[in-house]
């Protein structure tokens, strides 16, 4: 999986689009590349929230079907997070 651009149709009302960089702060960093992020307030918590869209890469489904796992790496203070899988158009 990799972070992916966020199509206009998947931006919900009340969000702000930003580009977040990795620890280097370099928009051209290829090791930890910048990502598009949606910022809003979580509807259930009222807390600030940052959402990144992830897309499967070639071979990801096969790895998962074979018992593979998904790892989330966070650089900086450990945040509370949620992972959602959405169907097309959700």
- C-beta of residue 18 within 8 angstroms of C-beta of residue 39: yes
Q: For residue 61, report the phi and psi dihedrals to the nearest 5 degrees.
A: -60, -40
- Prediction pTM value: 0.78
CA distance 33 to 68: 24
The answer to the question of residue 83 being in a domain is no
Domain total of the chain: 1
Q: What is the pLDDT of residues 38-85, one digit of tens each?
A: 999 988 888 888 899 999 999 999 999 999 998 887 766 656 677 888
Instruction: Say if 80 falls within a structural domain.
Output: no
Q: Is 57 helix (H, G, I), strand (E, B) or coil?
A: coil
In a domain, 13, yes or no: yes
Give the domain extent around 48.
2-65
DSSP for 65-83 reads: HTT--------SSPPP---
Mean pLDDT value across residues 22-46: 89
């Amino acid at each position: 999986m990799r972070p992916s651009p966020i199509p206009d149709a998947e931006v919900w009302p009340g969000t702000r689009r930003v580009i977040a960089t990795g620890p280097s702060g370099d928009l051209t960093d290829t090791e930890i590349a910048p990502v598009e992020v949606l910022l809003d307030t979580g509807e259930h918590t009222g807390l600030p929230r940052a959402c990144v869209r992830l897309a499967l890469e070639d071979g990801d489904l096969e790895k998962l079907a074979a018992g593979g796992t998904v790892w989330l790496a966070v650089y900086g203070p450990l945040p509370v997070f949620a992972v959602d899988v959405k169907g097309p158009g959700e």
